[in-house]
Structure 1
Amino acid sequence: MPSLRHALLILFAVLPAGSVAQNTAEPFPWAKVQDDPHLSVVPRSASEAARIAKVLTTHDDFTAPQPFEELSGGAATVRNTGDANAFSQPSKTVDFEGELTFKLGNGLFRKLWVSSPSSTLASDGLGPLFNARSCQRCHLKDGRGHPPESAEDSSVSMFLRVSVPGGPEDGIDEIEGYLATRPEPTYGGQMQDFGLPGQRAEYRLDIQYDEVEVALAGGETASLRRPTYVAAELGYGPLHPDAMLSPRVAPQMIGLGLLEAIPAADILAGADPEDRDGDGISGRPNIVWSREFDRPMLGRFGLKAGMPTIREQSAAAFSGDVGISSTLYPDAWGDCTEAQADCRSAPHGDGDIRGVEIDDEALDLVTFYSRNLGVPARRDVADPEVLAGKRLFHELGCASCHRPSFVTHRLDGQPEQSFQLIWPYTDMLLHDMGEGLADHRPEARATGREWRTPPLWGIGLTEQVSGHSYFLHDGRARSLLEAVLWHGGEAEAQRDAVIALPQDERAALIRFLESL
């Protein structure tokens, strides 16, 4: 592995500071979100920008790896431990004091919350309705969740988001194009499948799969499983007739701080909502309202980029998944609605000196932990089959959405993510993925057919870390090939090209993905 000093080499700036590749057909005023209020940014100099742009020119040599390509997270890259702990290491750039903070955050991430009242005042406040008793329960080993294997499977990390269409009064004036929705009037914004004693769980998730055969070139076939989701055994009466359900499995946690440190202007520079270059790819940013900064910001986290920062994502998960209140989500009853009076009147854990069930100090520790989970180094970057698969990845246009590399801001007071050349393989933008993957549930500016391009770093270690090979937002794909074959919409041409590949080239493409 090259030295950390060499990996700290460069950062990316396609445009000068303050400049964004604007599409004038987009109504949103881009200038409102191209800054990064969550970061203490040291502006790049013109010479840095020129040097970086030179390094990140279009790559067309596939005879050897690119410099530092194996360092997926730049100097923050960690070694692959070879076991299920590969995603649970602190970034290489975290110093000794930071490791202590990381371990404290890990303890809170793993902590089992208990119901109120309790003598353990620092750990009470669970629920009253919840999906999990800890963050680790869904993000097991900081990896990817999965749907149930059977009706008796209790190890899943999957839930349903729910909402109903809203009206003009539910929109946000500062965000043009915001698709107004509101929580489902009885069940809120998320379905909880557990309740404390005396509380009814909201539902049980039932999934039925139908197998769909896909013919591949060379006489091969693949089978996709098409899911049907049912919210069964509803505990509080029927859902609203216009309820929109979106199944979600927990995503992997690595590299979040590096994604958070990518300049918003660089992400926006890749947006092409009207497909003016005619390549069939129309990436759009999701613009969301930040509770922390009380302003619109670029959405980065969540399957539809519905959260602007790791801290807000963490606070929202505590509220919706565990029923734990914070200063950002102060309702002690979590996601319970006015229709769930027993839940709202149940004992809560916010009656002590903290005022909320997780205070800002503890939330900051969890945020630091989540921000600094290291990305393992790539494997086999010089393998001839991997290089052949990489060439196909680029030639087929996969890199149009799964952009290989970015560079993070130079940051004051945040050295762990500062000035890093990273290889996440995402553009952080929303794309129409077709009817097959549509959940028909908008989220901020994201439509019911759009999803944020997921980062691919670490994807080849999924089975090692999580013990399964299920992919996509709901875990329907049982392999990387199945995940590719579910692509539609803007990625339909790429999917069809993969189907038409000779068997050995298709295998090389998958081999490349497995190396990430």
Structure 2
Amino acid sequence: MMLQIQKKQKSNLLLKRILFFKSLVAVFATGLFAVNSNKEVFTNKIEKNSIFKSIKGLNNEQIDRFILGKSFFRIPWVESPSATTARDGLGPLFNANTCISCHPANGRGVLYSKNNELSRDLVVRLSIPSNNSKMHQEELYKNGFVKEPIYGAQLSINGVHGVKYEGKPTLEFSEVKVTFPDKEVVTLLKPKYSLKELNYGKMQDDVIVSYRIAPTLMGMGLIELISNEAILANEDIEDKNNDGISGKANRVYSVLTKKIELGRYTWKASTATVLEQIAGAMHNDMGLTTPLHPYENCTKAQKECNEAIIADKYEFDVTEDRLKSIEYYLTHLQVYKPKEDENFKKGLNLFKNIGCASCHITSFETKIGEIRPYSDFLLHDMGEELADGRVEFKATGSEFRTAPLWGLALHEKINNEKPRLLHDGRARNFQEAILWHGGEATNAKLNYMNLSKEKREELIKFLGTL
């Protein structure tokens, strides 16, 4: 009987997925963005809710769509079964029960919670080296990495009733002194990671653990407007211009198109579209099924997790309409843009002169005009000190996507504290983030270190306005 139920589940899920993917054809043909001018998109207000509002120019139907997506983004999901059928299905394993809990006011996450414990905004990604087996090769092609066999792709710090959470992360820092040519000495914090309370046994010995702090959600719709050609124009894998920078695009498998696409999102550019990014986060962070991830995030070794699945539930936790509404919400948020006065222009020139703009490209042209994400969306080798050892499609263990810098000015207003920077939040300020740069960014870092203290402060002030 159970086998028949499981077969019926898979049949229903397969049919729903086919219908879902067919419905996306119109979206790819027409594009996501509802306006054709950047006048409706940008705001220069530095407020807590600056990027929590919709772009201007939406009609009543579009505003309703935006509000619907916002509700699924910010209202908590609950364990199934529940009277709240529109928002049940949380878990069985999960990190957070709302999207907004990791992306406050759609901004960057924080490293520590108010009680000085590691925040759930910091997730633990897990993988193991490939053994070149057929199964591992398939995982590499479809996922970009090989999951840890017992704990899967991401450590879950929470579980629903009757399901033990997977474990808890710990993070300690040691101090590293850096001396500038002008004799100023600063202290960096070098992270030491570990995991505790592993409830499903020991992980594989060669597990690769990478800590990732939640990035801002600002501008996700604009990033999707940048053409592939514009991004690939900056690719220089062989460093033919001999500038020490050899950015490359990540090529990733898209579950939507069933082919290899250009990666744009995540710390290693391992996701091609906003929709796939949303579905991935819902699956990994909240244990929610979608047409893109139709099965629960339990591994075979997790007995209680598998037994918690409701056998006769054929519907996705997040249906096609709800998933698309969340996508609409995130792609139609206002985007912060600083006022470009004389001080801003001076800082921007300094930013360019020392080489930061070689990777943090200042602007792209799109169908709504110029946008300034301060990223080339390419992978760069950041050196041994920042390397996490994790492979994601074409990204090696020391390569990361150039992090967009837009929206940094809003973090302190949103979270009442300065942003923790870099992929694992180790940097307490902009200067520390610069000093951790290595690999292809070494020359830019050295150029910064050789500036006068006055000029260094000028650059830091500029970064705080972005």
Per the TM superposition, whether the score is higher than 0.5 is: yes
User: Which residue is 1:84 aligned to?
Assistant: 48
Q: For 1:202 and 1:457, how far apart are their aligned partners in 2?
A: 34
* Alpha-carbon contact 1:139-1:157 (below 8 Å) kept: yes
User: Which residue is 1:497 aligned to?
Assistant: 447
What does 1:48-87 correspond to in 2, within 5 Å? Answer: 74-87=38-51
- 1:210 is aligned, of 174, 177, 182, to 174
Q: For 2:447 and 2:118, how far apart are their aligned partners in 1?
A: 39
Q: For 1:461 and 1:209, how far apart are their aligned partners in 2?
A: 26
Q: For 2:139 and 2:159, how far apart are their aligned partners in 1?
A: 37
User: Which residue is 1:358 aligned to?
Assistant: 318
Asked if 1:376 corresponds to 2:336, the answer is yes
Q: 1:150 to 1:486 in 2, by over 3 A?
A: farther
Q: For 1:152 and 1:506, how far apart are their aligned partners in 2?
A: 31
Asked if 1:337 corresponds to 2:304, the answer is no
- 2:222 is aligned, of 258, 263, 282, to 258
Asked if 1:185 corresponds to 2:149, the answer is yes
User: Which residue is 1:290 aligned to?
Assistant: 254
Q: For 1:305 and 1:298, how far apart are their aligned partners in 2?
A: 8
User: Which residue is 2:386 aligned to?
Assistant: 437
Q: For 1:132 and 1:351, how far apart are their aligned partners in 2?
A: 22
What does 1:91-490 correspond to in 2, within 5 Å? Answer: 91-148=55-112, 153=117, 155-166=119-130, 167=132, 169=134, 170-171=136-137, 181-331=145-295, 333=296, 335-348=297-310, 351=313, 355-379=315-339, 381-384=340-343, 386-408=344-366, 418-468=367-417, 469-490=419-440
User: Which residue is 1:12 aligned to?
Assistant: none
Q: For 1:168 and 1:462, how far apart are their aligned partners in 2?
A: 44
Once superposed, what is the RMSD of the aligned Cα atoms?
A: 2.3
| 1:413-454: CA deviation from partner (whole Å, max 9, x where unpaired) | xxxxx4321111110100001111111010111001001011
* Alpha-carbon contact 1:303-1:454 (below 8 Å) kept: yes
* Alpha-carbon contact 2:79-2:88 (below 8 Å) kept: yes
Q: For 1:150 and 1:462, how far apart are their aligned partners in 2?
A: 16
**Number of equivalences:** 434
| 1:355-412: CA deviation from partner (whole Å, max 9, x where unpaired) | 1111000000000111112211213x2233x33221111111111101111122xxxx
Q: Which runs of 5+ in 1 are unaligned?
A: 1-35, 43-72, 409-417
Q: Name the amino acid aligned to 2:447.
A: A
Q: For 2:195 and 2:293, how far apart are their aligned partners in 1?
A: 26
| 1:254-312: CA deviation from partner (whole Å, max 9, x where unpaired) | 11011011101111111001101101111011111011111110011111011100001
User: Which residue is 1:26 aligned to?
Assistant: none
* Alpha-carbon contact 2:42-2:336 (below 8 Å) kept: yes
* Alpha-carbon contact 2:144-2:252 (below 8 Å) kept: no
Q: 1:307 to 1:390 in 2, by over 3 A?
A: same
* Alpha-carbon contact 2:221-2:274 (below 8 Å) kept: yes
* Alpha-carbon contact 1:389-1:509 (below 8 Å) kept: yes
User: Which residue is 1:56 aligned to?
Assistant: none
Q: For 1:253 and 1:209, how far apart are their aligned partners in 2?
A: 28
Q: For 2:393 and 2:26, how far apart are their aligned partners in 1?
A: 20
Q: Which runs of 5+ in 2 are unaligned?
A: 1-24, 32-36
**Cα deviation, residue 154, structure 1:** 6.5
* Alpha-carbon contact 1:121-1:349 (below 8 Å) kept: no
Asked if 1:39 corresponds to 2:3, the answer is no
* Alpha-carbon contact 1:432-1:490 (below 8 Å) kept: yes
Q: 1:158 to 1:319 in 2, by over 3 A?
A: same
Q: For 1:496 and 1:179, how far apart are their aligned partners in 2?
A: 36
Q: Name the amino acid aligned to 2:357.
A: A
**Cα deviation, residue 348, structure 1:** 3.9
Q: Name the amino acid aligned to 2:298.
A: C
**Cα deviation, residue 153, structure 1:** 2.6
User: Which residue is 1:29 aligned to?
Assistant: none
**Cα deviation, residue 97, structure 1:** 3.1
User: Which residue is 2:18 aligned to?
Assistant: none
* Alpha-carbon contact 1:78-1:89 (below 8 Å) kept: no
**Cα deviation, residue 137, structure 1:** 1.1
Q: After superposing the two structures, state which structure 1 stretch, 254-263 or 504-513, moved more.
A: 504-513
Q: After superposing the two structures, state which structure 1 stretch, 497-506 or 459-468, moved more.
A: 459-468
**Cα deviation, residue 181, structure 1:** 3.1
Provide TM-score, normalisation by structure 2: 0.88
**Cα deviation, residue 220, structure 1:** 2.2
* Alpha-carbon contact 1:115-1:127 (below 8 Å) kept: yes
Q: For 2:459 and 2:262, how far apart are their aligned partners in 1?
A: 32
Q: For 1:350 and 1:375, how far apart are their aligned partners in 2?
A: 43
Q: For 1:403 and 1:103, how far apart are their aligned partners in 2?
A: 33
**Cα deviation, residue 150, structure 1:** 8.3
Q: For 2:26 and 2:138, how far apart are their aligned partners in 1?
A: 19
**Cα deviation, residue 40, structure 1:** 2.8
* Alpha-carbon contact 2:171-2:192 (below 8 Å) kept: yes
User: Which residue is 1:415 aligned to?
Assistant: none
Q: For 2:211 and 2:376, how far apart are their aligned partners in 1?
A: 23
* Alpha-carbon contact 2:46-2:409 (below 8 Å) kept: no
- Which has the larger helix fraction? 2
| 1:311-357: CA deviation from partner (whole Å, max 9, x where unpaired) | 011011111100000111000x2x210111210120449726xx111
